[in-house]
Copies of this chain bind each other. A is one copy, B any other.
Amino acid sequence: MLPEEVTKYLAEHRQEHLEQLFEVLRFPSVSSQSAHEADGLACAEHIAGHLQGLGFSAELRPWRKHPIILARSTPEIADPSAPTVLIYAHYDVQPPDPVDLWTSPPFEPTIRDGAIYARGASDDKGLLMSCINGCEAFIRTVGQLPMNVLFFSEGEEEIGSPELEDFITAAADDLKSDFALVMDLGFFAPGMPTILTGLRGLVYLELTLNGPSVDLHSGQHGGAVVNPLNALAKMIAAMHDEDDRVTLPGFYDDVVEPSDEELQAWKSLPFNKSEYAKEVGVEPAGGERRRSILERRWSRPTLDCNGIIGGYQGEGAKTVLPASATAKISMRLVPNQRPEKALAAFDEFVSSNTPPGVRASVKVLSRSRPFLIRPDSPAIGAVKDAMYEAFDADTVLARAGGSVPISELIQRILKVDPVVTGFALSDDNIHSPNERLKLEQFHTGAVATAAMLNNLARLK
C-alpha cells in the first residue's frame, strides 16, 4: 500500500499539477511539421527543467529533429542499489487539423465538463505529467523514490518514432532497466484499467505518381494525358479486394491468429457494436468480412489512405490535370508481420500496377514492428495491483490497434517486457479535434504511478 502522505500530497496539489500540465500543453510540439521544430525543442527543455527541479539528472540527447529526454533519479532521490524502472511517454503531438472543428484552440488548454481539452492532453503529455507527479509525491513526502526511475521521453512518436531502433541500440547500456512502463493509450472502458499485451506495427509511406511536367488544363488535355489523380485512385482501389482484404502479394503470409484463450477474453470485454457505432458516429462496416470488430482492430493488418495531395483542394472549381498526385498510405501490421516484407510487397504491387503515362515512386516515412508479450509476468501483476489501489477496479488485458514503436524496441533490444498502459479513455478524441483528458484520470493516474513504483520495487 502507498504511504498515506503520498496520496494526501497528490490530493492537495491538484491545482498546481494542473497548471504545470497546462504549461506543457501550450507548446505546439507537432513533430510532423518542420515549422514546429523549435516548439518541440522548447517543450523538451521545459520538461527536462521540471525533472531537474525534482532531483533528476535530466539531459536532452539530440536525435534527428527532436531531442530525446533522458532523466534519471539521482542518489539524492533514490537508492542507487534499488532496481530501476524505465518510464516512457512522448512529448510530441499530432497536428491539430482540422483546427476549425475544435471548440477551444488546440494549444490553449481549457477545462470543460471535468476534462482538460487540448492537443496532447491524453496523447501523451497528460500521462507523462501524471507519472512525474507520482514521483514528485514520493520525493516531497517520503524524501525518496521507492526505486530508481529513468524517464525516457521522445519527440517523434507521432511520426512513427523513425530510427528510434538505432538510438535504443546505441544507448542500450544507458537504458538498462529491470522494468519498463510504456505510458501511452489508456482504459478499455471508463473504470476499467487496461494493460495492452499487443500493439500493431506501422509502415507509413507516400506513393507519388508523376505525369505531365506541369499542371495541365483538363479541357485541353483531358482524354489524352493520363490524369495522375485518376491513376492513383485506381491503384489505391486495387489495394483491397471485394472482401476488403489487402491485395499486396503475400501480405497475410506471416499473420498469426490470436490464441483461443485471448479471443475468448476479448469476448468478455464490455464491447458493444452499437455503442461503438455511436462513439465513431457511423456503422463500423470496414475491414475484413467474418471477423469481429475487436479482431479487425487488434489482430488484423490494414492498409489505409490517410490523405491525397494533387490537383486543386480549394473552394470551387479548377479544371486541372495535376502534374503529380501523392497518397499518404499507412499499413498497420500484426504479429508476425515485418515492415520490410510489407514494404517489399508494396513495391512489388506498385511495379506491377503502375499504368503507362505516369511514373511511380515510394517514400517511406516510418516503420515499426508489431508488439506482443506474455500476459502473466510479475510486473504485470504489480501494475494491476497498483491500478486497483488507485482506481479501485480490476485491470483487463487487451490489445490496441495503434502503434507505440518503443514497446517492441524495449522488448527486443533491452530484453525487458514493458507494461504498456495509460490513463486515457477511449472517447478522448486522440488524433481528432477536441482531444481531452478527464481531470479524474489525470489526478488518479499520478496515484496509480506512485503505486506502481511502490509495487515494482518489491519484486526484486
Contact = CB atoms under 8 A, between A and B. Distances in A.
Interface of A: 31-34, 94-95, 97-98, 101, 158-160, 200, 202, 204, 210-227, 229-230, 232-234, 236-238, 240, 276, 280-288, 293, 296-297, 300-302, 304-323, 328, 330, 332, 355-358, 365-366, 400-403, 426, 429-434
B227 A286 contact: yes
Contacts of A307: 229, 310-313, 318, 320, 322
Contacts of A200: 219
A281 B212 contact: yes
Contacts of A210: 282
Nearest to A35: B315
A214 B433 contact: yes
B317 A216 contact: no
B216 A431 contact: yes
Complex copy number for this chain:
2
A304 B321 contact: yes
B230 A297 contact: no
Contacts of A212: 280-282
A407 to B, nearest CB: 13
Contact of A366 (B217, B229, B317): B317
A83 B17 CA distance: 85
A357 B284 contact: yes
Contacts of A220: 297, 400-402, 426, 430-431
Contact of A224 (B237, B286, B309, B432): B286
A12 B293 CA distance: 78
Contacts of A356: 283, 285
Nearest to A305: B229
A32 B319 CA distance: 11
A331 to B, nearest CB: 9
A315 B225 CA distance: 28
Contacts of A328: 311-312, 317-318
A95 B318 CA distance: 7
B237 A302 contact: no
A316 B426 CA distance: 25
Contact of A95 (B314, B322, B401): B314
B283 A316 contact: no
Contacts of A282: 210-213, 225-226, 357-358
A95 to B, nearest CB: 6
A302 B230 CA distance: 11
Contact of A230 (B276, B288, B305, B309): B305
B403 A219 contact: yes
Nearest to A331: B222
Contacts of A429: 214
A449 to B, nearest CB: 23
A224 B289 CA distance: 10
Given A219-B332, A223-B296, A227-B305, A283 B233 contact: no
Given A220-B400, A223-B332, A233-B236, A315 B32 contact: yes
A351 B187 CA distance: 40
Given A33-B314, A230-B240, A297 B357 contact: no
Kindly name the residue among A34, A212, A220, A296 whose own CB sees the greatest number of chain B CB atoms within 10 A.
Answer: A220
Contacts of A34: 315
Contacts of A309: 313
A281 B318 CA distance: 21
A150 to B, nearest CB: 26
Nearest to A201: B219
Given A237-B233, A282-B211, A311-B305, A224 B297 contact: yes
Nearest to A366: B317
Contact of A312 (B306, B317, B358): B306
Contacts of A95: 312, 314, 318
A295 to B, nearest CB: 9
16 contacts: A97-B312, A158-B317, A204-B319, A210-B282, A212-B282, A217-B431, A218-B332, A224-B287, A225-B282, A227-B304, A229-B306, A230-B236, A233-B305, A233-B308, A313-B313, A320-B431
B430 A215 contact: no
Contacts of A202: 219, 319
